[in-house]
Structure 1
Amino acid sequence: MQFFGGSEISPSPPAPAASGNNAHMLYIFNRNGVCLLYREWNRPLKTLSSQQDHKLMFGLLFSLKSLTAKMDPTSVEKGNLGVPQLPGQGCSFHSFRTNTYKLSFMETPSGIKIILVTHPRTSDLRDSLKYIYNLYVEYVVKNPLYSPGTPIRYELFNKAVDQYVRGLG
């Protein structure tokens, strides 16, 4: 599978092991914290407005990135807690799990952040996140009508993401 570039989308990676409908929510943020896409499939309880939810999720990612960089046992440069880091700088996290969900995270060199919230028993989703990013590049970035930084409203992209994510279960 190609992570960057290329003109065709490789076959989707094998579905991670778990049972039932795994996917709950998908977020795609740009480097400035703008939520470009939010999709949900299996979220029975909604407690926040969408704007509050997006701010909370982006803040969580910011805090976790800062915390993991500060706790990195291999780096002499610890920086200050709360200071933004560039993509690829310091150590990073890929996922965390609670008793009710698993959050998987990927950040691209351009600062695009993809978050997939799934069932807690879902296995590693790094290849799945890369595949979703490839869909984003093919259907959104390469679309001459797309204006960077605006919400993604392309039916073909949404259908491709929905079809892939539903297949994770």
Structure 2
Amino acid sequence: MAIYSLWVINKAGGLVYQRTFNEGLAPLTSNDALVLAGTLHGIHAITARLSPTGSSSGCQVIEAETFKMHVLLTATGTKFVLLTSPAEPLTNADLVLRRVYEAYADGVMKNPFHTPEMPIRSEGFDTRVAAIVKGA
């Protein structure tokens, strides 16, 4: 079981944070990552409208042969995406995403020098994310 990567996508679909933790997926250029984040943003919006009851928050897990993509949508529209091995338990990925979201709220959004919706450049956030993933 492995956590490969973490992405944070702003409410407009832009990739504002990307961190790779383990090898296992094809390496992406920064441009590829930006395109994939925008594509995932669109897919997430489409899946939110596909619900027959009309009350869906969109896709939460996308499974493939070699990875799983777990998505946490926040109340502000920011998406936290965790790419894991297929064997990663759903509960573990959800716990990691919630802890990363807490670290984001505490370490990024409370920083008076951070501009919302812009790339995250915080050593404190990087350190907390690394500790969360290591402890998972």
TM-score interval (norm. to shorter): 0.7 to 0.9
Q: Quick check: 1:28–1:115 contact (8 Å CA) kept in 2?
A: yes
Calculate the aligned-residue CA RMSD, in Å.
1.8
Aligned with 2:52 (options 73, 81, 102): 73
- Asked if residue 163 in structure 1 is aligned to residue 131 in structure 2, the reply is yes
The structure whose Rg is larger is 1
Whole-angstrom CA distance in 1 between matches of 2:48 and 2:118: 29
- Show structure 2 runs of 5+ residues with no match: none
TM-score (norm 2): 0.87
Higher share of residues assigned helix:
2
- Show structure 1 runs of 5+ residues with no match: 1-18, 76-88
TM-score (norm 1): 0.71
How high is the sequence identity, in percent, across the aligned residues? 26
Structure ranking higher on relative contact order (CA contacts 8 Å, 6+ apart): 1
Output one character per residue of 1:80-139: Cα deviation in whole Å (capped at 9) or x when no partner: xxxxxxxxx634221122111110001111011100001111111223211111100100
Whole-angstrom CA distance in 1 between matches of 2:117 and 2:58: 24
User: Following superposition, which runs of at least 4 residues in structure 1 exceed 6 angstroms of deviation?
Assistant: none
**Matching of residues 6-25 of structure 1 within 5 Å:** 19=1, 22-25=2-5
Q: CA deviation at 1:149?
A: 2.0
Q: Quick check: 2:8–2:81 contact (8 Å CA) kept in 1?
A: yes
Aligned residue pair count: 133
Q: CA deviation at 1:153?
A: 1.0
Q: Quick check: 2:4–2:23 contact (8 Å CA) kept in 1?
A: yes
